[in-house]
Amino acid sequence: MEHDEYAEDDAAFLQHLDSLGVPHPYASRRAEPLGLDRNTQEGALLAFSNALRPEVRAHRVVAAVLLVAFALPVVFTLLRVLGVLLRLLTG
């Protein structure tokens, strides 16, 4: 069997794991072709965040902390850019 013949079985197996809520090495079926597995920083973060369950209160708290941790630098950068633009416009 060639590698392409396994692709359909692998996709079905990953979909089965997703439906059961079982953590697996790939955060999603779309992450595997991109090379994002638990051995890369980005893949590990995807796998971790994918393992969080919304019905568990502690998981919701962790998700909120992650959201703030990733959104805060973006907000600060936007405020800085906005400040520079306002200084340029006001002279």
> Which SS3 state, helix, strand or coil, does residue 26 take?
strand
- Residue 32 is which amino acid? E
Q: Is the pTM of this model over 0.75?
A: no
CA pair distance 86, 91, nearest whole angstrom = 8
Please determine, for residue 34, whether its predicted confidence score (pLDDT) is greater than 90. no
Gap between the Cα atoms of 24 and 48, Å rounded = 10
pLDDT at 23: 59
Bigger pLDDT: 42 or 64?
A: 64
For residue 1, the model assigns a pLDDT of 42
Beta-ladder partners of 26: 37
Query: Is 90 exceeded by the pLDDT of residue 10?
Result: no
Q: Which residue has the higher pLDDT, 81 or 2?
A: 81
